[in-house]
Amino acid sequence: MTPTSGETPRLELRGLRKYFAASGVLAVADVSLEVGAGEVVALIGENGTGKSTLMNLLFGVHSPDAGTILVDGTEVQIRSQQDALRVGLGMVHQHFELVPSFTVAQNVLLGREPRRLGFYDDAAAERRVAELAAETGFTVDPRQVVRDLPIGTQQRVEILKSLAADARLLILDEPTAVLTPSEADDLVLRVRALAASGRSVVFISHKLPEVQAVADRIVVMRRGRVVGEFARGEASDAELARLMVGRDVLLTADRAEQAPGAPILELAGVSVPPGADGSTGLDDVTFSLHAGEIVGLAGVSGNGQDELVEAIAALRTPASGTIRLDDVELTRRTPAGARAAGLAHIAGDRMHVGLNRLATLEENAVSTSFTSRAFARAGVIRRRARRAFAQRLIDDYEVRGAAPGRPVGSLSGGNLQKVVIGRELHGSPRVVLANQPTRGLDVGSIEFVHKALSAARAAGSGVLLVSTELEEIMALSDRVAVMFDGTLLGPFPRSELDRERLGRLMTGGAAATPFPLADPASGGLR
Amino acid sequence: MNLVADFLNSGIRLTVPILFAAIASLLSARAGVLNLAIESKVLAGAFVGILVAAGTGNTLLGVLAAAASGALIGALLALAQRLGVDLVVLAIGLNILVLQLTVYLMRSYLGGVGTYSPDLETIPPLTIPGISDLPFLGALLSRLNWSVYLAFFAAILVGIYFRTRSGRHLLAVGEAPIAAASAGLSVGRTQTLTLLAAGALAGIGGAYLSVGDLGLFTRNMSADRGWIGITAALLALNKPAFIVPAAAVFGFASAASIRLQAFDVPASVTQFIPQGAAFVALVLVGLRAKSRGSFLRLWSQSSRIPLGRLREPGPPRPEPGAAPPPESSRVEEPSSSRSPRG
Amino acid sequence: MSRQRIALVPLSALAVTALLAGCAGGSADDAAASGDDTFTYALITPGAAGDGGYIDSAIAGVELAKDELGVEGRLVEAESVSQQEGVIRSTVATQPDIILAPGLDPEALLAVAEENPDQRFGVPSDIFVDELPDNVQAFAINVHESSFLGGYIAGKMTQTKKVGAVLGIEAPGIDQFYYGYMQGVLAACPDCTVTSTYLNGEFSDPAVGQEAALALYQEGNDIIYAVAGLSGQGVFTAAEQEGAYAIGVDSNQDGDAPGTVIVSVMKRVDQTTYNLIEAALNDEFESGFVQAGMAEGVSGISWADGSTVFQEEGPEELASLVPGLTSEVEGLQQQILDGEIEVCDALNDPSSDVCAELGLAS
């Protein structure tokens, strides 16, 4: 088990335990773990398996009920992120902790700024950050303002922050979730380089390919326990997935070849002007969706996907162009009218748009159809029918922890999404709009969503799947389109695309830039 | 007769209390607190200032006491902020409370009904040798005491302060409290100290009114200058470089509405000038999406009354995959989100 | 989330309680004291005490009535117009012998009055309506006449032949003061000019009053009539700073800036309030408007009340004019009361010839 036998591990956890009395959950159950100097350890597991709690114990957010933390062989007490940093543990969160209006240098050296004559010494700070960036390979321009930087670069700033504080062990929490494929590849290289320079890295992720690429060792957690530990190359993706979920998981969707039917959704020249808040508009989008096919819509988020989905769902009126579902012109419909025409919408924001968290499950289940004859008679709700429908939804979709009369707010993300999908796919819709349907879900729930979308396709629905996860797009789609800066590229048959080509399309065509440069016109006043 | 110089002089003097209030609002806003209690701080400063100045016969002590009273209200806000009390509701309560309390104290202990007018030498104007005799500058700079210069000095000082290390920390705390906390900065302490300083400045602004020139206190004599200061800070986009011109817009609008009547401009037109300035300022701020966004953010940090759905101001497009964090299942892992309020 | 929201409730309740404790002060015990046989009043004000104007005057009036007439009663505040109708209704339910309502929203007041014909209402000043129900008695105080006297004194005392006025707002109720004053100035000094500055409705902003007065003094005016509530205090300060003079209004303000305030034009809301209570107590309550002025002692100048502040503290060359002017003004007052002098009433009769002569466009 000990990777570098004989040497003191950089970080050692001995029997860490955390029990949350309020919820009665044993979140971390006697976890022991070692990370050696210069080692990259990947920590994988579904959401809610205790990874975050474990990290929170390391950073003083919670204190352990039992167990000890040793850094370089010395037991340490950590009560805050500052304590952690003092002993050399640096954390890069999923949401970056940066000050948007500060420069890179000011952010990296926040709290430890160089001073001259009592004033903040920008020049010295920039010099130091530039040196650090050159040394570690996380190249950034120290003078740029963080707000103007792409997410991938912001992440580098965040990593540099820890490095500037002399962190000898970095914890990266789902670091690739926000990156484009090429940025993710680059990050893997940089992490390896960090390890080569003697720093240790804990890499939290659920994307198995990158985990396999980056880690010296892979630790799998389930239900608060370490359930497996493998050296690089020891375990296959399938094995790891089975350990994480506790059963076999289909990593590629099971899809029968199927000839697409007639076009059912046709967009012609749809344009939406860019919003004042900096949102991308749509520029002359034309494509059609056929019955019985899934069209994947890839792209870095914020390139117009939400606007496109909203336009089709009649939540947003395009400035020009037509959107026809069969023979119905959707641009002149209300959202309810679009639904009546056979549109189902799995909203990207299930917490606020897809569901009403304060309402009960049965109210949510019929919220798009409560005026239909099935649930209402002469304007009066048929409670029994509604309850029966909700119960069937719970049973069919295995919504755990749910009851028809209880508010849905207490359900986990995966179960919330099951409620949405159960509602939307009921009654064989003609067109299914699925906007980021697996965002934030764990492996088991993702599998469920994929199955549900494939089933809709098999039943003859046309599915538009918007996702930032390339694996998902590639696994499910018959054809793939890419959104970039409000323009739709494609759709292309899936067979014509590979990861690299998709990555290039997502970043603005054939350009060699690894990620798009900020458009100066949209920078606005500062 | 020096019409222009007299007008400018009048404008400067009407700007001063607004400027103090605006700096107080700017400081609070930049530290991440929506401070709507400035009106009460100005009024408290005016009241306490003249009380102490009259009691001790020393205007400087009066101004210091006014600063202390404003800081005390600031401390109240800071305490409320730490306890998680809704600052907007509290501030509105404070504004009413201080108004009625001053009236009550004036009636009960000072014998005045609407006015407390003690025998008091106000702060004497500064006479600058050589300049006071010049025709234009002399009129322009007449009747200005040291607290006038203090206001403009404070504006410059804040600009300089933001370039120091601790000023940077204040900005970081206000803009990204979690980032600041993770860098080891104390969010609570920074906000508390800022609210104290802002309160003191607003209090001095009140003292300028009562001790500085008039030598008397009247019911509600702050006359919305706290609110105008907040508006001016908004107009200045909460930037020190713009705060003097923004406050001056309102001070000079008020002076213009008085002085223009001498040129037979009807009162029905002149009375629109101050209100019109405030209206135009707020419309300008409201039209600017970013200002709206930062105001909403400020509001949501200080109040639980929803003002509208907050759209995170993201980086400029194209914005690489800003996927929100996966929701941790809330049953198994209690929320570990660290609130900067602690 | 919801727990935190609940936490606000006690806090705001605290603020409100403190507020009530702060301003309702001594009135709670008065309410309890009303027995069956004692005459009771209720005074409803559109704001808290401390306005330095008619609210404070009305309170002084009921205090005087309590001392002199032995009546009992209570003070009710209705800060916003939207509350007023509800407050009036609930006050009616307590059945006081008379409800005194200075400065309330006339619509609310008259609506409740018409619904409750047995309840007597008294309005000590300023209700701008054409007709009153049978159970309402209202005073209209003729401030234009006393303002004329103030203006006459200013016209006699000005050394620059330029006098001014700082007015709270451009409205008929304020113009009633101003045009009477202007007419008085011109009567004493036909080649004088009278200039006014309005304060955009700022009645409690002495700093603005000070700036407005300063502007007028810088233009060469040496006496300013301050008809601007508490903002008038700023006029007095400016006068002191500039070595110039002012004329006070509403109450006797001669002592607010001794030697600087020459005279005050008084509008005795305390007296009308007292008169209303006294009339109701003695069953002399009569519905309708009571035009009252100098003859009834509810309007006049402070000198007539025996104020000698300016005579004692003013500069010799002006103070020495006071005795002569006092008798001159007494003569003028008699002429006004006899109808020999008609003074422009910009509130009730703005289209009269005298007003037209002063340039009032009706």
Please report, for chain A, the start and end positions of each structural domain, with discontinuous segments joined by +: 1-88+168-249, 352-426
Across the interface, of C19, C50, C237, the residue whose CB is closest to B106 is C50
Question: What residue in C sits closest to B258 (Cα-Cα)?
Answer: C212
Mean pLDDT is lowest, of A124-138, A312-326, B32-46, C163-177, for A312-326
**Taking CB atoms and an 8 Å cut-off, how many pairs form between chains B and C?**
148
Across the interface, of A99, A149, A279, the residue whose CB is closest to B172 is A99
Which is more confident, A416 or C146?
Answer: C146
CA diameter of chain A = 79
Q: Which of B241, B276, B284, B283 is nearest to B256 (CA)?
A: B276
Neighbours of A66 (CB within 10 A): 12
Asked whether at least 3 C-beta pairs link B and C within 8 Å, the reply is yes
Q: Provide long-range contacts, Cβ within 8 A and 24+ apart, for C130-136.
A: C132/C287, C132/C288, C132/C289, C133/C287, C134/C287, C135/C287, C136/C109, C136/C110, C136/C287, C136/C288
**CA–CA separation, B177 vs B179, rounded Å?**
5
Look at residue B78 and tell me if it is in a domain.
Answer: yes
**CA–CA separation, C266 vs C259, rounded Å?**
18
Mean pLDDT is lowest, of A63-72, A258-267, B146-155, B316-325, for B316-325
CA distance B100 to chain C (A): 6
pTM, whole model, 2 decimals?
Answer: 0.77
Cβ separation of A278 and B185 shorter than 8 Å? no
Examine the domain organization and report whether C64 and C208 are in the same domain.
Answer: no
**Alpha-carbon distances, residue C319 vs B13, C157, C236 (angstroms):** 33, 9, 18
Look at residue B140 and tell me if it is in a domain.
Answer: yes
CA diameter of chain C = 76
**Average model confidence (pLDDT) across chain A:** 80
Mean pLDDT is lowest, of A8-17, A390-399, B328-337, C252-261, for B328-337
Mean pLDDT of B173-195: 91
CA distance B84 to chain C (A): 7
Total of domains in chain B:
1
Neighbours of C171 (CB within 10 A): 14
Look at residue C100 and tell me if it is in a domain.
Answer: yes
Residues of A in contact with B331 (CB under 8 A): 23, 25, 48, 401, 410, 412
What six digits make up the tokens of C167? 């007015």
Residues of B in contact with C197 (CB under 8 A): 258, 261-262
pLDDT at C341: 94
Q: Does residue A148 contact residue B196 with C-beta atoms inside 8 Å?
A: no
Look at residue B245 and tell me if it is in a domain.
Answer: yes
Residues of C in contact with B86 (CB under 8 A): 5, 8
Neighbours of C15 (CB within 10 A): 18
**Alpha-carbon distances, residue A373 vs A365, A366, A381 (angstroms):** 15, 12, 10
**CA–CA separation, C325 vs A466, rounded Å?**
92
Across the interface, of B85, B143, B219, the residue whose CB is closest to C50 is B219
ipTM metric: 0.84
Q: Which of A300, A357, A406 to mutate to test the interface with B (most CBs of B within 10 A)?
A: A300
pLDDT digits (tens, 9 = 90+) for A288-316: 888 889 998 887 767 788 888 888 888 88
Examine the domain organization and report whether C225 and C350 are in the same domain.
Answer: yes
pLDDT at B45: 97
Residues pairing with A478 in the sheet: none
CA distance B183 to chain C (A): 28
Q: CATH number of the domain that B292 lies in?
A: 1.10.3470
Query: If 0-12 CB within 10 Å is exposed, 13-18 middle and 19+ buried, where does residue C202 land?
Result: buried
A386 pLDDT more than 80 = no
Q: Which of residues 208-237 of B touch C (CB under 8 A)?
A: 209, 213-216, 218-221, 223
Look at residue B341 and tell me if it is in a domain.
Answer: no
Residues of B in contact with C215 (CB under 8 A): 6, 10, 258-259, 262
User: Would an 8 Å CB–CB cutoff place B264 in contact with chain A?
Assistant: no
Look at residue C122 and tell me if it is in a domain.
Answer: yes
User: Would an 8 Å CB–CB cutoff place B103 in contact with chain C?
Assistant: yes
Q: Which of residues 316-355 of C touch B (CB under 8 A)?
A: none
Look at residue C298 and tell me if it is in a domain.
Answer: no
Q: Does residue B117 contact residue B60 with C-beta atoms inside 8 Å?
A: no
CA distance C327 to chain B (A): 32
B143 pLDDT more than 80 = yes
Look at residue C204 and tell me if it is in a domain.
Answer: yes
pLDDT digits (tens, 9 = 90+) for A15-55: 888 887 766 677 888 889 999 999 999 998 876 677 878 88
In sequence order, which residues have a C-beta less than 8 Å from that of residue C73 and are 6 or more positions away?
C30, C34, C40, C41, C42, C43, C62, C66, C96
Instruction: Tell me the three state secondary structure of residue B192.
Output: helix
Residues of B in contact with C360 (CB under 8 A): none
Q: CATH number of the domain that C166 lies in?
A: 3.40.50.2300
pLDDT digits (tens, 9 = 90+) for B195-208: 999 999 999 999 99
Q: Which domain holds residue C334?
A: 144-266+321-357
Across the interface, of C8, C22, C51, the residue whose CB is closest to B104 is C22
Q: Does residue B229 contact residue B18 with C-beta atoms inside 8 Å?
A: yes
Cβ separation of B171 and A414 shorter than 8 Å? no
Question: What residue in B sits closest to A179 (Cα-Cα)?
Answer: B321
User: Would an 8 Å CB–CB cutoff place B332 in contact with chain A?
Assistant: yes
pLDDT at C278: 92
Confidence label for A437 from pLDDT (cuts 50, 70 and 90): confident
Look at residue B180 and tell me if it is in a domain.
Answer: yes
B190 pLDDT more than 90 = yes
Mean pLDDT of A150-165: 88
A251 pLDDT more than 60 = no
Cβ separation of C211 and B254 shorter than 8 Å? yes
CATH of A1-88+168-249, one of 3.30.70.580, 3.30.930.10, 3.40.50.720, 3.40.50.300: 3.40.50.300
pLDDT at A51: 81
DSSP track, A69-119: EEETTEEE---SHHHHHHTTEEEE-SS----TTSBHHHHHTTTS--EETTE
Mean pLDDT of B109-121: 81
Total of domains in chain C:
2
What six digits make up the tokens of C337? 């009361």
Q: Does residue C280 contact residue C265 with C-beta atoms inside 8 Å?
A: no
Confidence label for A412 from pLDDT (cuts 50, 70 and 90): low
Strands (E), A232-333: 263-272, 282-290, 294-298, 320-325, 328-329
Look at residue B45 and tell me if it is in a domain.
Answer: yes
Handedness of CA B84, B87, B93, B96 (dihedral sign): positive
pLDDT at A252: 58
Confidence label for B235 from pLDDT (cuts 50, 70 and 90): very high
pLDDT digits (tens, 9 = 90+) for B260-296: 988 888 888 888 888 888 888 888 888 887 777 788 8
Q: Could you give the percent of chain B with pLDDT greater than 70? A: 88
Cβ separation of B215 and C237 shorter than 8 Å? yes
What six digits make up the tokens of B153? 């000095």
Handedness of CA C59, C70, C273, C297 (dihedral sign): negative
Burial per residue of A12-49, b for 16 or more beta-carbon CB atoms within 10 angstroms, e otherwise: bbeebbbebeeeebbbbbebebbbbbbbbbbbbbbbbb
**CA–CA separation, B5 vs B139, rounded Å?**
6
User: Would an 8 Å CB–CB cutoff place B257 in contact with chain C?
Assistant: yes
Residues of B in contact with A410 (CB under 8 A): 330-331
Q: Which domain holds residue B217?
A: 2-302
Q: Could you give the percent of chain A with pLDDT greater than 90? A: 12
**CA–CA separation, A463 vs A465, rounded Å?**
6
- Tally helices (H) and strands (E) across chain A: 17, 24
**Alpha-carbon distances, residue C298 vs A44, A146, B281, C175, C305 (angstroms):** 89, 72, 46, 19, 11
**Alpha-carbon distances, residue C56 vs A294, B114, B138, C199 (angstroms):** 79, 8, 42, 22
Cβ separation of A180 and B321 shorter than 8 Å? yes
User: Would an 8 Å CB–CB cutoff place B106 in contact with chain C?
Assistant: yes
pLDDT digits (tens, 9 = 90+) for A180-227: 778 888 899 999 999 998 999 999 887 778 888 899 999 998 878 888
**Alpha-carbon distances, residue B20 vs A506, B295, C160, C255 (angstroms):** 51, 20, 38, 32
Mean pLDDT is lowest, of A346-355, A486-495, B3-12, for A346-355
Mean pLDDT of B37-65: 96
User: Would an 8 Å CB–CB cutoff place B180 in contact with chain A?
Assistant: yes
- Tally helices (H) and strands (E) across chain C: 14, 12
**CA–CA separation, A288 vs A262, rounded Å?**
10
Mean pLDDT of B204-229: 93
Q: Which of A62, A207, A301, A357 to mutate to test the interface with B (most CBs of B within 10 A)?
A: A301
User: Would an 8 Å CB–CB cutoff place B166 in contact with chain C?
Assistant: no
Confidence label for B121 from pLDDT (cuts 50, 70 and 90): confident
Q: What backbone phi and psi angles, to 5 degrees, belong to A284?
A: 55, 60
In sequence order, which residues have a C-beta less than 8 Å from that of residue A148 and are 6 or more positions away?
A518, A523, B315, B316
> pLDDT tens per residue, chain C (362 residues)?
444 444 444 444 444 444 444 444 334 344 444 445 789 999 998 877 777 778 888 998 999 999 999 999 998 888 777 788 889 999 999 999 999 998 888 888 999 999 999 999 999 987 878 888 899 999 989 999 999 999 999 999 999 999 999 999 888 889 999 999 999 999 999 999 999 999 988 888 999 999 999 999 999 999 999 999 889 999 999 999 999 999 999 888 998 899 999 999 999 999 999 999 999 999 888 888 888 888 888 899 999 988 999 999 999 999 999 999 999 999 999 999 999 999 999 988 889 999 999 988 75
B17 pLDDT more than 90 = yes
Look at residue C283 and tell me if it is in a domain.
Answer: yes
Examine the domain organization and report whether C52 and C171 are in the same domain.
Answer: no
Chains contacting chain C through 3 or more C-beta pairs under 8 A = B
Examine the domain organization and report whether C223 and C242 are in the same domain.
Answer: yes
- Parallel/antiparallel/unpaired status of strands C223-227 and C162-167: parallel
**CA–CA separation, B203 vs B67, rounded Å?**
5
Cβ separation of B107 and C50 shorter than 8 Å? yes
Across the interface, of A27, A82, A274, the residue whose CB is closest to B333 is A27
Examine the domain organization and report whether C136 and C63 are in the same domain.
Answer: yes
CA angle B288, B25, B272 (to 5 degrees): 65
pLDDT at A334: 82
What six digits make up the tokens of A54? 């474990």
Confidence label for A385 from pLDDT (cuts 50, 70 and 90): confident
Question: Which residue carries 């607290």 as its tokens?
Answer: B147
- Parallel/antiparallel/unpaired status of strands A115-116 and A119-120: antiparallel
**CA–CA separation, B182 vs B173, rounded Å?**
10
pLDDT at A365: 73
DSSP track, A442-487: -HHHHHHHHHHHHHHHHTT-EEEEE-S-HHHHHHH-SEEEEEETTE
Task: Write down which residue in C255, C277, C292 finishes a domain.
Answer: C292
What six digits make up the tokens of B305? 């009354």
Cβ separation of B321 and A151 shorter than 8 Å? yes
Residues of A in contact with B178 (CB under 8 A): 97
Confidence label for B311 from pLDDT (cuts 50, 70 and 90): very low
Chains contacting chain B through 3 or more C-beta pairs under 8 A = A, C
pLDDT at B307: 65
In sequence order, which residues have a C-beta less than 8 Å from that of residue B83 and are 6 or more positions away?
none
Q: Which of C114, C170, C173, C178 is nearest to C147 (CA)?
A: C178
CA distance B186 to chain A (A): 10
User: Would an 8 Å CB–CB cutoff place C196 in contact with chain B?
Assistant: yes
User: Would an 8 Å CB–CB cutoff place B175 in contact with chain C?
Assistant: no
**Alpha-carbon distances, residue A496 vs A33, A251, A326, A409 (angstroms):** 44, 21, 28, 42
Cβ separation of A183 and B320 shorter than 8 Å? yes
Which is more confident, A100 or B42?
Answer: B42
Cβ separation of A85 and B184 shorter than 8 Å? yes
Q: Does residue C304 contact residue C332 with C-beta atoms inside 8 Å?
A: no
Cβ separation of B214 and C7 shorter than 8 Å? no
